Amino acid sequence: MNFNAYLKRINHQGQLAPTAETLRALQVAHLRTVPFENLSIHNSEPIVLDDDALFTKIIERRRGGFCYECNGLFAALLRALGFDVTMLSAEVANATGGFSEPFDHMALMVKLEQRWLADVGFGDSFLEPLLLDAEKEQVQGNHAYRVVSDGEYRVLSRREAGQWTPQYRFTLQPYGYEDYAEMCTYHQTSPQSHFTQNRICSRATEAGGRISLSDLRLIITSADGERTERTLRNESEYADVLREEFAIELGR
């Protein structure tokens, strides 16, 4: 792991000691520079769950990825810096009140003096790592999160309009890349996967908001939740926005 190249990619120039403050700074830097995106799926680029392949894509080619890619490589960086990291299987909440299949999402547990939930691959979610065992409200800007126990699971929720809305649930069982392979293939190939149905590219902004491309829709959300949206004229303008806002040039 050439972690110096990784740190340059995410514009991190701070401390590297394996502490909670370093973890926080690394996650924030990652979310602001490495997009959550599924463009490989729509450009016939196979996604390989391997540290070297992901390093080539995300660091050398300056791309992003979806959860298995972003969190997988982030775990490798953290380990290279001396952190104790565990890959977790998460099940994403759905509109019917249930959850998806195991391994639908990869999250990370980082053990320091306290245990932390880290995640750089879930799109619009918590910016800073969350205490895993606190079971209390954790406020980040205009959002609040909590992680509570539910039998064998921990459930991550975000407070929205005064109500707690589940985002995903997970166990603390450790896993490796091979355990996510089947679901990774599903999300690349199945017509039922939301990743095959439309293109997405999204990152957090320095100002505390978010900028996203959903097919030809450009969506900008401010830190206080104000949202603006416009439809791009064509694929040429789409490529321009990818390059200017996400530093992505497809085919490179």
CB atoms within 10 A of CB 11: 11
Q: What is the pTM of this model?
A: 0.95
Q: What is the pLDDT of residue 41?
A: 95
- 85-140 pLDDT, tens per residue? 999 999 999 988 899 999 999 999 999 999 999 999 998 899 999 999 998 999 99
Q: What is the pLDDT of residue 252?
A: 63
Q: What is the pLDDT of residue 160?
A: 83
**Single-letter amino acid code for the residue at 116:** W
Q: Which residues are known to be catalytic?
A: 67, 105, 119
List the beta bridge partners of residue 99: 93
Is pLDDT of 8 > 80? yes
Task: Return the SS3 of 28.
Answer: helix
Q: What percent of the chain has pLDDT over 90?
A: 89
Q: At what angle do helices 67-80 and 177-189 cross, to 10 degrees?
A: 150
CB 134 within 8 A of CB 120: no
